[in-house]
Structure 1
């Protein structure tokens, strides 16, 4: 069994990743840190390297909503349109008549719980080609446009009928803004980042972070990485809590340690213990995670984690319902960002870990082998 250091060094040597930063922690503190490769030209990857964390933002957005639920200001089963009336205009894409989308009303109203568990019917074009066809046919913008108009994707299925990964957490962030009154960036700073001393987590790249920001690499058809550009839209009309944040490995570990500590860290309480229990429970109501099949191979591979083990979604995370031999325990929580920034939390074993780079395609087999080798090394150690 390779050590964690060996896993990282070998991954860069084989060009499975352009560079990598990884860290582990338990409830009490950081237990290990390592890095390999150059995060940008002439600049080594370091513990304080800044990443575009994309969908690692989602757990922060879900936590923001859970804070309001904890305080009795929001309910899991409230229809979204009761808070955001514009949401009622969203319909289910039934079929196409030629290139004209034919819409119908959803059979039930999407709730806060549906948003948090990706069962609202809203899906990304990267995994559902019909969404891409709809956007092209209607001229509607992608969610990465950062506009309010970009939130109005069609539902692909009726709410509460199946897992479909998409823009639900962007809407959840809008719910938080409406209920609380603060814009989501201010809410997160005052309620999460400030109390947790996450000083390198932000909605926009500060000058201090700019000097440590990693480059992005995409693997070409020749198998070689080349620098590319992909980032959340700066200063958008709407901050999408599905994708908008920048952070570092140590900062994100502070957030994960708060979860391990059942809602508090270093004297700052973010959620009640009951709130954490509610957040980590299976919230899918009998549904299950479904394999994500790519509609955009340069951006993402298929995602079918831990075959043979049941997977659900909690209020904030993907959740495994069984032990993974040699790896994480039943009840562990995880997710990732599209540029291959990944994390998991294993409350049963008191483990939190990140493994982060900035590369495309997301979850390509070469990266996923590195992730597995790293996770096995974490538990072997």
Structure 2
């Protein structure tokens, strides 16, 4: 029996090698056939892995290419909010009274012959509701009522990063439903009100500088990976085309739920910090930005820039990962704007729920992701996971609409299968 552990490791390595070969073959095929414009995959765990696929003559995605994070931005804003909870500057469950829209917003219950119908919410909105998408807000590309409201009231697109883009009504009583929407964007407004600083400065102080994420900012501020759209036709064919979609470099109201740009490498660094629940050691070599500290004028969490410091207190870290909602609340979404997203239902056999950091699974996933893992995605068909029990994480990046593309989702599943788990 002395050879059994070695044989087990060899078997696991062979299985992983076969899974990697399957993933890379499928990824190359997807890009060469133009089902996807380009792709980059990164994982970290027992081993690290990186793979890029681009069409002949096309612009590749690399670990250092600036990409649009889209809703991957939510993870940064949520983490900043939780660090402020630890610092005593934000209460997860206290009614939010210092943001006018959250005090005065009404529920759009529907439309009849006379126009829109509204109701007054009975329950105050809290930061926990904004983090878990239970405050009652939605997205216009997922809710036709909100799409109509936005058209009739000339509400600008969120891509404009104008403050008026957040002036949407609720679609449900706060605390009674899960509706994916603009809650994290509004949480960014709350953080600005609490700190008296811009959201970019808050993220820089509490998340980006402590983790050494120097590429991350609102707006690309220069060249970025090109966006594409994929149009499907009735005969089953599809075609990729360039898409002019770019958040501004100087936003009026920074989009904490979708406006960040950065490199895939920096996003993986964020995932690895979440996995370790601590800030990694930063270089203090010449030219390296110095971490912020309590002396920078920002409130201190024991000094957010101290290297190796825990990201969150143990109690809040456990609370942040915990499933927050009753079973069944996180349900499939149907598209109200097919050019932005397809219908989606993420791996229902995992038991989808929501934590304070994103989607969590309550059952073991098909590739062994342990209960209590973290997963979420960006509108541009980028996806990630964090598995605390198995100590691994990974992300897949593309830059293409509509969201929930079946090919991208299949590749994300194949990517997770490459990670060896016992």
For the criterion TM > 0.5, the same-fold answer is yes
Structure 1 SS opposite 2:152: helix
- Give the TM-score normalised by structure 2: 0.84
Greater shift in the superposed pair: 196-205 or 246-255: 196-205
Structure 1 SS opposite 2:253: coil
Matches within 5 A, 1:222-233: 222-233=237-248
What residue is the counterpart of 1:293 in the other structure? 334
Alignment gaps of 5+ in structure 1: none
Tell me, in whole angstroms, the C-alpha distance in 2 between the residues paired with 1:6 and 1:99. Answer: 56
Q: CA deviation at 1:38?
A: 5.0
Q: CA deviation at 1:263?
A: 3.3
- Out of 24, 30, 43, the position equivalent to 1:24 is 43
Alignment gaps of 5+ in structure 2: 1-17, 282-306
Structure 1 SS opposite 2:210: coil
Query: 2:131 matched to 1:131?
Result: no
- Give the TM-score normalised by structure 1: 0.92
Q: CA deviation at 1:100?
A: 2.1
- Out of 320, 336, 342, the position equivalent to 1:279 is 320
| Pair member with larger Rg | 2
Q: CA deviation at 1:99?
A: 6.1
What count of residue pairs does the alignment treat as equivalent? 373
What residue is the counterpart of 1:324 in the other structure? 365
Q: CA, structure 1 residues 261+36, in 2 after alignment: closer, same or farther (shift >3 Å)?
A: same
Tell me, in whole angstroms, the C-alpha distance in 1 between the residues paired with 2:412 and 2:101. Answer: 41
- Out of 151, 154, 162, the position equivalent to 1:147 is 162
Tell me, in whole angstroms, the C-alpha distance in 1 between the residues paired with 2:163 and 2:406. Answer: 35
Q: Are the equivalent residues in 1 in contact too, given 2:228–2:399 (CA < 8 A)? A: yes
Greater shift in the superposed pair: 110-119 or 224-233: 224-233
What residue is the counterpart of 1:340 in the other structure? 381
Tell me, in whole angstroms, the C-alpha distance in 2 between the residues paired with 1:312 and 1:203. Answer: 29
Q: Are the equivalent residues in 1 in contact too, given 2:228–2:243 (CA < 8 A)? A: yes
Query: 2:77 matched to 1:36?
Result: no
- Out of 99, 119, 134, the position equivalent to 2:134 is 119
What residue is the counterpart of 1:184 in the other structure? 199
What residue is the counterpart of 1:15 in the other structure? 34
Matches within 5 A, 1:27-66: 31-37=48-54, 42-66=58-82
Moved over 6 A (4+): none
What residue is the counterpart of 1:74 in the other structure? 90
Q: CA deviation at 1:327?
A: 4.0
Tell me, in whole angstroms, the C-alpha distance in 2 between the residues paired with 1:263 and 1:91. Answer: 40
Tell me, in whole angstroms, the C-alpha distance in 2 between the residues paired with 1:86 and 1:74. Answer: 18
Tell me, in whole angstroms, the C-alpha distance in 2 between the residues paired with 1:367 and 1:43. Answer: 18
Q: CA deviation at 1:5?
A: 3.3
> What whole-Å deviation, never above 9, does each CA across 1:288-329 have from its counterpart, x for those lacking one?
311111111121111101123321111111001000122422
Structural RMSD (CA): 2.0
Tell me, in whole angstroms, the C-alpha distance in 2 between the residues paired with 1:245 and 1:326. Answer: 30
Q: CA deviation at 1:229?
A: 1.4
Q: Are the equivalent residues in 2 in contact too, given 1:163–1:287 (CA < 8 A)? A: no
Greater shift in the superposed pair: 41-50 or 188-197: 41-50
Tell me, in whole angstroms, the C-alpha distance in 2 between the residues paired with 1:187 and 1:131. Answer: 30
Q: CA deviation at 1:11?
A: 2.6
> What whole-Å deviation, never above 9, does each CA across 1:111-132 have from its counterpart, x for those lacking one?
1111000011100011111110
- Out of 331, 352, 359, the position equivalent to 1:311 is 352
Tell me, in whole angstroms, the C-alpha distance in 1 between the residues paired with 2:399 and 2:314. Answer: 34
